[in-house]
Amino acid sequence: MAPAGASLRAAVLCLLAWAGLAAADRVYIHPFHLLVYSESSCEQLEKSNAEAPKEPTFTLVPIQAKTTPVDEEALREQLVLATEGLEEEDRLRAAKVGMMLNFLGFHMYRMLSESWSTASGAAILSPTALFGTLASFYLGALDPTASRLQAFLGVPGEDQGCTSRLDGHKVLSALHTIQGLLVAQGGASGQPRLFLSTVVGLFTAPGLRLKEPFVRGLAPFAPITLERSLDLSTDPDLAAEKINAFVQAVTGWKMNSPLSGVGPGSTLLFNTYVRFQGKLKGFSLLEGLQEFWVDNTTAVPVPMLSGTGTFQHWSDAQNNISMTRVPLGRSACLLLVQPQCMSGLQQVETLSFQHNFLTWLKNLSPRAIRLTMPQLTLQGSYDLQDLLAQARLPTLLGAEANLGKISDDQLRVGKVLNSVLFELKADEGEEPTTEPRLSP
């Protein structure tokens, strides 16, 4: 059974994880003051650099070594606990990073969708995974690579001084807060619980040593880091098969061979795997398969969900589209954008890049709707190196990149994979119905 969305040219997932965060500054302050080093931190950093011994390193165990399976329930509990006792500064920092990652995410998604082929399935991108991957490399970078990554993340370095430098630990901590607020509020007000699990895979050539502080520093972004070594050069395709099999065995996530080949001469692969699971309260699964149009001429049979209730809705007569906000929690939603005619499918995607989604949301108003939509299982993978090349930054993580905080060895970064698995189903306990398909 092909999941709904498997043949879509593009699918945009908008999780408004910062919707409940206070973001307005009452007085003018440096817009990035919460993300850069403070003067006291700079003084401590300078002192530590002068006194600290050489950073400890370690070699990775072979990929055949066993490890504990990923416990997604425990990961969710960790995220929820991280939101308890948050201070105002933590929320402001998360709000700032939320805006930055969405700006970069939409920019990169547009490039991804332009180069995506229909045969490749759905183009799906997680702004959090993308931003977190780049911030992780920033954490392991030295100049000039660090300065270039900082600028690409959206924080200009006004000078070469320490207080203008991005604090990578603060950024990754803010990402942790964003993810925590998303899942913590997902179970509020009677809504089904949300799960958001992030796993990073670090795969190196045998004998390469990684620095312990770098790997430990990834924990806020990805509590589970899988570090393994294997031969990446003799048979790149075989290496990719081993990595795919290892990740699936540890996570249990069924992804369609996300990695193919590892790139010639690679000594380090940095792969980010994200799984989002949500359930729709008040929706039930229709009996049998229903037709779902994926383009102007093609309909595929898919499982469909149906629910009746009051949703935030808006019909845009000027652009011949309508949109419906389906809540997944207090701080997350699914925004469904539908063309009024089949010929408008391409137009929907074009409009999505010309409008601010938050502005669109302001136009929504309550409306009683009987809504039908596919039971969604969207999955996709892309190589961040390809997107950087499209952004005219092909060497940012290339052979000349200075990643001295990751390893003292000469690194050659291969593919930087981002894999996303998005699953949305009816809430448990809802029985299949024979309700006919109706449109909003």
Q: What is the mean pLDDT of the chain?
A: 83
Nearest alpha-carbon partner for 249 in 404, 100, 65, 6? 65
Nearest alpha-carbon partner for 69 in 224, 202, 195, 256? 224
Is 361 exposed, middle or buried, given 0-12, 13-18 or 19+ CB atoms closer than 10 A?
Answer: middle
Q: Which residue has the higher pLDDT, 189 or 82?
A: 82
The Cα 373–Cα 336 span in angstroms is 9
Nearest alpha-carbon partner for 99 in 153, 163, 167, 166? 153
| Contact status, residue 305 vs residue 325, Cβ threshold 8 Å | no
Nearest alpha-carbon partner for 131 in 169, 170, 171, 177? 171
Per-residue pLDDT of 277-302, as tens digits, reads 998 888 999 999 999 877 677 888 99
Name the percent of the chain lying above pLDDT 70.
Answer: 82
Mean pLDDT of the region 323-334: 84
Q: Which residue has the higher pLDDT, 80 or 438?
A: 80
In the prediction, which pLDDT does 158 show?
64
| Contact status, residue 118 vs residue 151, Cβ threshold 8 Å | no
pLDDT band at 322 (very low <50, low <70, confident <90, very high): confident
pLDDT surpassing 60 at residue 11:
no
What's the length of the chain? 440
Q: Which residue has the higher pLDDT, 387 or 17?
A: 387
**What is the residue type of 175?**
L
pLDDT surpassing 70 at residue 154:
yes
What number of other Cβ atoms are within 10 A of residue 395's Cβ?
13
Tell me how far CA of residue 339 lies from CA of 298, 315, 345, in angstroms: 15, 10, 6
Q: Which residue has the higher pLDDT, 334 or 61?
A: 61
In the prediction, which pLDDT does 25 show?
37
3-state secondary structure of 133: helix
Mean pLDDT of the region 207-221: 96
Helix 72-82 and helix 168-186, axial crossing angle in degrees, nearest 10:
110
pLDDT band at 74 (very low <50, low <70, confident <90, very high): very high
| Contact status, residue 416 vs residue 384, Cβ threshold 8 Å | yes
| Contact status, residue 214 vs residue 406, Cβ threshold 8 Å | yes
CA angle (143 as vertex; 138, 147 as ends), nearest 5: 60
Q: What are phi and psi of 421, to 5 degrees?
A: -125, 115
Looking up tokens 């990446």, which residue turns up?
A: 232
- CA 337 to chain CA centroid, Å, is 21
The Cα 253–Cα 357 span in angstroms is 31
Q: How many CA within 13 A on the CB side of residue 420?
A: 21
The Cα 107–Cα 304 span in angstroms is 31
Per-residue pLDDT of 382-415, as tens digits, reads 999 999 999 999 999 999 999 999 999 999 999 9
Q: Which residue has the higher pLDDT, 5 or 253?
A: 253
| Contact status, residue 401 vs residue 384, Cβ threshold 8 Å | no
Tell me how far CA of residue 265 lies from CA of 204, 246, 414, 415, in angstroms: 11, 22, 8, 11
Q: What is the pTM of this model?
A: 0.87
**What is the residue type of 4?**
A
The Cα 419–Cα 203 span in angstroms is 15
Q: Quick one: residue 52, left, alpha or beta (phi over 0 = left, psi -120 to 50 = alpha)?
A: beta
pLDDT band at 343 (very low <50, low <70, confident <90, very high): low
The Cα 154–Cα 152 span in angstroms is 5
The Cα 375–Cα 144 span in angstroms is 46
pLDDT surpassing 90 at residue 19:
no
| Contact status, residue 200 vs residue 164, Cβ threshold 8 Å | no
pLDDT surpassing 80 at residue 61:
yes
- Joined tokens for residue 113: 């969708």
Nearest alpha-carbon partner for 307 in 341, 337, 283? 283
Q: Which residue has the higher pLDDT, 177 or 340?
A: 177
Q: Which of 119-128, 165-174, 223-232, 363-372 has the lowest mean pLDDT?
A: 119-128
In the prediction, which pLDDT does 161 show?
83
Q: Which residue has the higher pLDDT, 301 or 113?
A: 301
Q: Quick one: residue 226, left, alpha or beta (phi over 0 = left, psi -120 to 50 = alpha)?
A: beta
